[in-house]
Amino acid sequence: MSLDTLSAPPEKAKEAYRDYEKAGIDRIRQFYQTNHRYQTVDFVLEKKARWLGFNERAMSPWAALDFLNTLVDESDPDIELPQVVHLLQTAEAIRQDGHPDWFVLTGFLHDLGKVLCLFGEPQWAVVGDTFPVGCKHSDKVVFAEFFSDNPDSLDERYNNPLGMYAAGCGLDAVHLSWGHDEYLYHLLKPYLPIEALYMIRYHSFYAWHREGAYRHLTNAQDEANLRWVQAFNPYDLYSKNPNPPVMATLRPYYEDLMAKYLPSTLRF
Ligand SMILES: [Fe+2]
Ligand SMILES: [Fe+2]
């Protein structure tokens, strides 16, 4: 065996992440074509009514993580690792930077809402970047050209900058496209601080936290918490390293952390 095979692989350059060209553009284009076509106001309201009653099943947080581990995210150009490995890498990178324990826990849980896929929801209704519905789609949203297939684009109630919202109403009053972020936000709302909840709820809302779009809808609370969403983002993106940390040795730490903040059973 050559020594080369024993050394760590070079770190991936930051520009190499979210590179849809390299990741198989067709797969991801197709994903967003479907997502942008079907994520309408009516669709989002229907999904909220379906899932935010949390009457699917009760599971311990660990059982939910084990369950999630059977899923690979189709929208993500950077990862073909099991979900729990991505969660562990994200959390460990946050922990190594000395952040508070609730921030580490947020890293460890932030994609847990993807269990919706395992409850039978299609990936285009669970993963990928999110965007507001009920107002004009920003061209800052990834693959914005596909919004031409969305019936809300032709609806006069929705196809102007404010649409169904008031200026400065705040993101809490804005319906984002349905997915794992919003679902997990509601599930964990009783247990985590507001900064953590912002990270969870808006981590896929790149048009806002990265591109600065939709500022006409945000309020002072959103603006104050934007920096937390932005602080979280590099850990989500750049800790996707092909050399995974080992769960078995880290498990006791995360068990204690979950026990500190979460009940022994969560309702999904
Ligand atoms: Fe996510
Ligand atoms: Fe993630």
Residue 110 Cα to ligand 2 middle (Å) = 6
Look at residue 70 in the predicted model and tell me its pLDDT: 83
Backbone angles phi, psi at 17, to 5 degrees: -90, 160
Mean pLDDT, contiguous 10-residue spans, the chain (268 residues) = 29 60 78 97 98 97 91 68 89 97 98 95 96 98 98 98 98 98 98 98 98 98 98 90 81 96 98
User: Do the domain assignments include residue 133?
Assistant: yes
User: Do the domain assignments include residue 179?
Assistant: yes
The pLDDT tens digits of the residues spanning 137-152 come to 999 999 999 999 999 9
Contact 179, 127 (CB under 8 A): yes
User: Do the domain assignments include residue 30?
Assistant: yes
Predicted TM-score (pTM) of the model is 0.89
User: Do the domain assignments include residue 8?
Assistant: no
User: Do the domain assignments include residue 18?
Assistant: no
**How far from 32 is each of 10, 130, 144, 180, 242, CA to CA, in Å?**
31, 10, 9, 15, 25
User: Do the domain assignments include residue 172?
Assistant: yes
Contact 138, 214 (CB under 8 A): yes
Residue 239 Cα to ligand 1 middle (Å) = 13
- Domain extent, residue 167, equals 23-267
Residue 87 Cα to ligand 2 middle (Å) = 7
Residue 204 Cα to ligand 2 middle (Å) = 9
Residue 84 Cα to ligand 1 middle (Å) = 12
Work out how many domains the chain is built from and give that number. 1
